[in-house]
């Protein structure tokens, strides 16, 4: 991959972007340490895995091309995110605006890891990437769940970003930063319907592409008690946000205006959005078993003090296995239920099905082996 990791264009004025930023490496240990960035998939496939199945990398080497313009545009996001992550690690409140920025950053990291692993694994899943980071930031419904596990050595772990499912559908992964575990899920309109927002009524493949025309339908204007399509582990604080910008939907100019009109005329959407022009719904918060509450003011603060310390319930070994299992199973659930298979012609459907079955089987095998990454 020679293209810019942000805009996807050919890089003329070449710089390098660290997928895992330097500030995060410093915050989580020795910045010059080696980190494990997942299994060596090509070696796994041809049976030459050997004694050291994990790919070790110094974070400095885990970098990819970027245009200098894109790189500097995104450095603001990194600066803001650093202070937000520090606040969370220090048990300080953050604002809704900061949470929104943090979710943007997760979009960035998730997509960066996807492109990064594609390169590291020599594109073993044979993907033709249709988007880079730009297109995936703030563009599709997203969820961030935060879990706390005290009494653990500082460090970072990626969970599920090195699977075949993630290569085909980079929509769900886990991430540990010191004593916090994050589960991040993003897919177009995946939470919208259950949040009472407009949802996809019909999807049609655009000829000769992997893109779809999405036809939307007005929602129910009612927020369900559970909006996640599949439950996640208890003990978290989580946030769900519907997104409906121009980036969310493949459309031409005429369609763009129609979509804008469609949303801005919807009173429920208006009352439950952070910024309707940017296509940003409210951030819906769920505390333990209560109903979702829509946060519509950027200034409102979020407090993490209610977050349960899961180290009182689980040993570290059990917790990391349980968390990993959740990520792998969620990935399997998503690829089986959200891949637009129905819209493809029979031949494409058949070859996709084969890839999906293989990827799902891989995740199942890994869960069975109680696979987990060891990063120190
Ligand atoms: Zn660029």
Residue 143 Cα, ligand 1 centroid: separation in angstroms? Answer: 26
User: Is residue 312 within 8 Å of 246, Cβ to Cβ?
Assistant: no
Please state, in angstroms and as integers, the Cα–Cα distance from residue 40 to each residue in 30, 148, 325, following that order. 24, 29, 20
Residue 297 Cα, ligand 1 centroid: separation in angstroms? Answer: 32
Query: Please, which pLDDT band fits residue 290 given cuts at 50, 70 and 90?
Result: confident
Sequence-separated (6 or more) residues with CB below 8 Å from residue 148:
179, 180, 181, 304, 307, 308, 309, 310
Residue 103 Cα, ligand 1 centroid: separation in angstroms? Answer: 21
Average pLDDT rounded to a whole number, residues 276-292: 89
Residue 166 Cα, ligand 1 centroid: separation in angstroms? Answer: 23
Sequence-separated (6 or more) residues with CB below 8 Å from residue 210:
128, 130
Local structure of 201: helix, strand or coil: strand
Residue 61 Cα, ligand 1 centroid: separation in angstroms? Answer: 20
Residue 12 Cα, ligand 1 centroid: separation in angstroms? Answer: 9
Residue 132 Cα, ligand 1 centroid: separation in angstroms? Answer: 9
Cα–Cα distance, 212 to 343 (Å, whole number) = 9
Residue 74 Cα, ligand 1 centroid: separation in angstroms? Answer: 10
Cα–Cα distance, 303 to 237 (Å, whole number) = 10
Residue 155 Cα, ligand 1 centroid: separation in angstroms? Answer: 30
Element (H, E) at 23: helix 22-27
pLDDT at 371: 55
Average pLDDT rounded to a whole number, residues 302-327: 93
Residue 94 Cα, ligand 1 centroid: separation in angstroms? Answer: 30
**What is the torsion angle, in degrees rounded to the nearest 10, for the CA atoms of residue 171, residue 252, residue 138 and residue 194?**
-70
Residue 70 Cα, ligand 1 centroid: separation in angstroms? Answer: 5
Residue 174 Cα, ligand 1 centroid: separation in angstroms? Answer: 26
Query: Please, which pLDDT band fits residue 288 given cuts at 50, 70 and 90?
Result: low
Residue 7 Cα, ligand 1 centroid: separation in angstroms? Answer: 4
Residue 282 Cα, ligand 1 centroid: separation in angstroms? Answer: 29
Checking if the pLDDT of 332 tops 80, the result is yes
Domain regions of the chain by residue span? 14-368
**What is the torsion angle, in degrees rounded to the nearest 10, for the CA atoms of residue 158, residue 162, residue 168 and residue 173?**
-20
> What pTM was computed for the model?
0.93
How confident is the model over 19-63, as pLDDT tens digits?
889 999 999 999 888 877 777 777 777 777 777 777 777 777 778
Residue 249 Cα, ligand 1 centroid: separation in angstroms? Answer: 21
Decide which of 251 and 324 is more confident.
324
User: Is residue 218 within 8 Å of 193, Cβ to Cβ?
Assistant: no
Cα–Cα distance, 25 to 17 (Å, whole number) = 14
Residue 164 Cα, ligand 1 centroid: separation in angstroms? Answer: 26
pLDDT at 338: 87
Phi–psi pair at 318, nearest 5 degrees = -65, -40
Residue 137 Cα, ligand 1 centroid: separation in angstroms? Answer: 14
Cα–Cα–Cα angle for 232, 188, 142, rounded to 5 degrees? 45
pLDDT at 374: 44
Residue 68 Cα, ligand 1 centroid: separation in angstroms? Answer: 7
How confident is the model over 88-128, as pLDDT tens digits?
999 999 999 999 999 999 999 999 999 888 887 778 777 77
Q: Which of 104-118, 124-138, 360-374 has the lowest mean pLDDT?
A: 360-374
How confident is the model over 184-234, as pLDDT tens digits?
999 999 999 999 999 988 888 777 776 777 788 999 999 999 999 999 999
Q: Residue 286 gets which letter from DSSP?
A: E
Compute how many other C-beta atoms are within 10 angstroms of the C-beta atom of residue 59.
Answer: 22
Compute how many other C-beta atoms are within 10 angstroms of the C-beta atom of residue 73.
Answer: 14
Residue 115 Cα, ligand 1 centroid: separation in angstroms? Answer: 14
* Mean pLDDT, the chain, integer: 88
Cα–Cα distance, 214 to 88 (Å, whole number) = 37
Cα–Cα–Cα angle for 348, 6, 43, rounded to 5 degrees? 55
Local structure of 67: helix, strand or coil: strand
């Amino acid at each position: 991959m020679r293209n810019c990791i942000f805009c996807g264009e050919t890089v003329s004025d070449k710089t390098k972007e660290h997928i895992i930023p330097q500030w995060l490496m410093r915050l989580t240990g020795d910045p010059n340490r080696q980190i494990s960035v997942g299994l060596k998939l090509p070696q796994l496939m041809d049976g030459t895995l050997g004694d050291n199945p994990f790919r070790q990398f110094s974070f400095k080497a885990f970098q990819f091309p970027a245009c200098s313009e894109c790189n500097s545009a995104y450095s603001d996001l990194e600066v803001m995110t650093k202070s937000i992550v520090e606040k969370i690690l220090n048990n300080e409140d953050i604002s809704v605006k900061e949470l929104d920025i943090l979710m943007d950053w997760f979009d960035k990291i998730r997509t960066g890891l996807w492109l990064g692993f594609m390169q590291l694994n020599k594109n073993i899943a044979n993907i033709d990437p249709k988007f880079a980071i730009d297109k995936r930031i703030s563009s599709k419904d997203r969820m961030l769940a935060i879990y706390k596990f005290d009494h653990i050595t500082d460090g970072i772990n990626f969970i599920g970003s090195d699977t075949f499912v993630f290569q085909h559908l980079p929509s769900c992964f886990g991430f540990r930063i010191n004593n916090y575990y994050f589960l991040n899920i993003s897919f177009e309109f995946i939470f919208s319907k259950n949040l009472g927002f407009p949802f996809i009524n019909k999807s049609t493949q655009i000829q000769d592409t992997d893109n779809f025309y999405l036809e939307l339908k007005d929602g129910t204007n009612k927020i369900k008690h559970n909006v996640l399509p599949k439950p996640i582990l208890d003990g978290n604080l989580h946030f769900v946000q519907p997104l409906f910008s121009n980036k969310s939907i493949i459309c031409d100019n005429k369609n763009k205006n129609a979509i804008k009109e469609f949303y801005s005329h919807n009173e429920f959407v208006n009352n439950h959005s952070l910024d309707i022009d940017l296509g940003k719904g409210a951030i819906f918060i769920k505390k333990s078993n209560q109903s979702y509450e829509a946060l519509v003011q950027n200034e409102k603060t979020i407090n993490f003090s209610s977050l349960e310390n899961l180290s009182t319930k689980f040993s570290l070994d059990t917790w990391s296995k349980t968390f990993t299992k959740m990520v792998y199973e969620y990935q399997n659930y998503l690829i089986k239920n959200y891949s637009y298979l129905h819209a493809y012609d029979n031949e494409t459907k058949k070859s996709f099905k084969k890839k999906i079955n293989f990827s799902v089987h891989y995740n199942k095998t890994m869960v069975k082996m109680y696979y987990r990454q060891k990063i120190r």
